[in-house]
Amino acid sequence: MYPDDKRDRPNISYKIEEGSVKLTLKTSIQYIISFNAIIGQVTQVQNIDFLDLGMAKALENIQDIATKRNYVLALKLHLTTLMR
């Protein structure tokens, strides 16, 4: 879901909570907004034809894995603002 050139990818950190399958990713707000817009558009038009090839393949791979393993994926965005 990110550019091929690793230098253009956002910094991502994650935390896996004990006893759960919840994966928490932390990254820049601009990538969250962009991803949210893409998911919103896919939901609205119910297809991925408008996406570039890399993004379309990434979403297809996620869907294929979820289907094969009988997973239900839920995406939730949580924005945290640190005040200093």
Averaged confidence pLDDT in the chain = 77
pLDDT at 83 over 60: no
pLDDT at 17 over 80: no
Global pTM?
0.60
Beta pairing class for 13-16 and 23-26? antiparallel
pLDDT: which is higher, 37 or 22: 37
**pLDDT at residue 49, as a whole number:** 93
How many Å apart are CA 19 and CA 46, to the nearest integer?
34
**Start-to-end Cα distance in the chain:** 32
Helix, strand, coil shares of the chain, percent, nearest 5, are 45, 10, 50
Encode pLDDT of 31-72 as tens digits.
778 888 888 899 899 999 999 998 899 889 988 998 998 888
Extents of the domains making up the chain: 6-68
What number of residues does the chain have?
Answer: 84
